Structures are given as C-alpha cells and as structure tokens.
Amino acid sequence: MKLLFIGDIVGKPGRRAVKTLVPRLREQHGLDFVIANGENSAGGSGITPLIAGEIFADGVDVITCGDHLWDQKEVTELLANEKRFLRPLNYPVGTPGRGSGIFEAQSPRFKGQSLIGVLNAQGRTFIQPPLENPFLLAGEEVKRLRERTKIIFVDFHAEATSEKIAFGRFLDGQVSAVVGTHTHVQTADEQILPGGTAYLTDAGFTGPHDGCLGREIEPVMKKFLTGMAQRFEVAKNRVMLHGAMIEIDDASGRAIRIQRVSESLPAM
C-alpha cells in the first residue's frame, strides 16, 4: 500500500494546496490512501462540516485532528455523523466522536479492497487540553485494530519532540507508521525503526509558509514584543503542501519506505 499523509492544513491557502496538488500526487505516485490533519483548516483554527466535505471531495480519505478540535462549534456535527473524521483517541470516555477507525482502500493493485487502520492521539507535554495517557490507550487500541488489519497509521499530535520519539518507539513493530503533527515545522528525521514502523517527528504544515507557522508575521512579532493579545490572520504567500509518503508491505504491515513530501503551489 502507498499512502500519503498531509501535515496540518492551515486555512484557505492550505485547502487550495490540497485541492490542486492531491489529485496530481495520487496519479503520479499511484497512491492508495490519503490522510490529512485538518485541525487548522477553518480560517486557521478548527474545522467545520462544510470544510471537511471540501477536503474529502479533493481526494482525502480520512481527516485527523488535534488540540484545536473544539475551535469551531459546528465540529459537533462532524463528530456525530462523519466516520472518516477522527479526533484524538485519549479524550475521556463519553466524548463525542472516535479516535480510530478501519477504512477500505480501493485500488486496482488489490483487485478489490484492502483494510487500513488509522489512529489519532494527542500528547500531554506542553499542550492543552490535558488528556488521558496516550501510551496506555494507544497500546490497547492498536491491539484491537490489529485483529482486523496489520496496516495501521498513527497521527500523533504533540508538542514535545521527546514525547513523539518515545511514542514512535513504543509502537514500533505494532503499527506501520507514526507521524507527528502540531509544531508545523517539517523535521528531517524520517526513518524505518527497527521493528518496521515508519517514523517522522513532524510532517510540517500545508499552507502559506511566508509567515510564522501559517500566520501573518507582524502580529506574531508584536505579541512577542509587547505581550499583548493579537489577532493572528492566516498568511497568504509561498503556499506549500508538507507531509510524508509511506509504502507499506500489504502482508506484514511493515513499512518499506518513507519519504518527506514538500510540494509548492504555483503563485497565483
């Protein structure tokens, strides 16, 4: 199986990158499945059913989320009705939505369908809100998913590099890939861990890179200079799609290859 994971989609520019580039990447690389983190896709903060529908229509199969899950009130509708939308697994019992799912990847290569498990979890170090222990919950959930498929992708939404590395090592040999999100800076440590799990500390973000993590630079600098609250508008220029492309052995679920993706959208 060949899958593409897209780092945090930021605002309208990020959605434009997905709309323009994903169909081409699917065809160019023979992709079987596409996952995207959409937690910043609505004006740079949160996600709505309308925007999720737009992202699905542009070629994304599953959308994951993170600490900005609740920034748009309409997200409750997504959590209740859309199985292709995942929120972090480690919210307390009773929280709407779900943190993992098993999906069907359809491709001529399979002569039918192949199952893929997708799991979304959130770290606890330097990130709000404080959630349950992702290590304990993910370990049990992965065992459940492996009863139906060995191909499992994990989006670990976390701030601390050490927590991400530890999480990847913890799940090594049990899942096909662990890729981090949240910091919006693509790291250069892509690798196959000893147990066969593809790993990347952070996928980066999809959106305008001529700014500060997708936002206009001036208000960000002003906040650092004055300590005063500012409105962080989404930036506009140098739009890029960041993520990772992973090839997985269908029988064993072990990763064969991981490659960082950094694609530029032509200037308008």
Distance CA 60, CA 183 (A): 21
Let me know if 54 is exposed, middle or buried by CB neighbors in 10 A (0-12, 13-18, 19+).
middle
Spot the catalytic one: 29, 68, 184, 209: 68
Q: How many residues does the chain have?
A: 268
Of 77, 121, 75, 79, residue with least CA distance to 98: 79
Distance CA 78, CA 95 (A): 13
Q: Is residue 209 flagged as an active site residue?
A: no
Of 2, 67, 12, residue with least CA distance to 35: 2
Whether the Cβ atoms of residue 241 and residue 17 lie closer than 8 Å to each other: yes
Classify 48 in phi/psi space as left (phi over 0), alpha (psi -120 to 50) or beta.
beta
The pair of structure tokens assigned to 42 is 């609505």
Angle at 214 between CA 67 and CA 227, to 5 degrees: 75
The pair of structure tokens assigned to 79 is 């959590």
- Residues with catalytic annotation? 68
